[in-house]
Amino acid sequence: MGSFSIWHWLIVLVIVLLVFGTKKLRNIGEDLGGAVKGFKQGMREGSDAAAGSDNAQIAKQTIDAPAREKEKS
């Protein structure tokens, strides 16, 4: 009783196809796919840029000094 049967979903699909048409639905799908692809690429570039800035901050904090042996007491 909580979910619709397959026949309900098929009727909804037919109504959506009649209202919007296959060409418009295909264009909406392509636009949505392009947006998701662009979002993933932006996230990937953002994480690469963040990793680069973390390395730059670590490099700024590094102290360069000559090494010497520990004095024995």
SS3 content of the chain, % helix, strand, coil (to 5): 75, 0, 25
Rounded Cα gap, residues 37 and 29, in angstroms: 12
Q: Where are the domains of the chain?
A: 23-52
The pLDDT confidence band at residue 37, using thresholds 50, 70 and 90, is very high
Prediction pTM value: 0.45
Q: Residue 25: CB partners within 8 Å, gap ≥ 6?
A: 16, 17
Mean pLDDT within 30-58: 80
Query: At residue 35, does pLDDT exceed 80?
Result: yes
The pLDDT confidence band at residue 73, using thresholds 50, 70 and 90, is low
